[in-house]
Amino acid sequence: MRNTRQKDVIRESLKGADGFVSARSLHEQLEEAGEHIALATVYRQLNAMEEQGLVDTVRMNGQQLFRLCGDDSHHHHLVCVSCGRTVQIDPPSEQWLRKVADSHGFTIESHTLEVFGLCAECRERQATSSDADEADQAD
């Protein structure tokens, strides 16, 4: 895919994003900045950038999210289901993956790995909220 002004604008917008963003929210940011790029074009550009390894992508709550890729190596993510914070993690070994696939009669063509859970801050916030709810019920 050739470099286009639209792709450059999308890349610059992703640089300024704090974490993963949806194509729709990126489109809204672009519109607010006076960049009129069709939503379908944003999706198309993001998917092309993913194929080129220029963006990371995760699925969360049924929605595909994108982030400018800061690392050319193969990697995976921990994703907080509450705030969306992501942490890059090392992938499992290729040997382990082949062994698991072989044991089930599979050959690996590709893989992705995202581990979903609560980050420390959200877990703490949830515990504090739960403690406050219990105190209210005790009154």
Annotated binding site for Zn(2+): 80, 83, 119, 122
DSSP run (H or E) holding 24: helix 23-32
d(CA 105, CA 110): 15
Phi, psi at residue 64, to the nearest 5°?
-85, 130
Detail the residues annotated as belonging to a binding site for Fe cation: 74, 94, 111
Spatial separation of the C-alpha atoms in residues 85 and 25, rounded to whole Å: 16
Mapped onto helix, strand or coil, the DSSP state of residue 34 is coil
* CA count, 13 A, side-chain hemisphere, 38: 3
Binding-site positions: 74, 80, 83, 94, 111, 119, 122
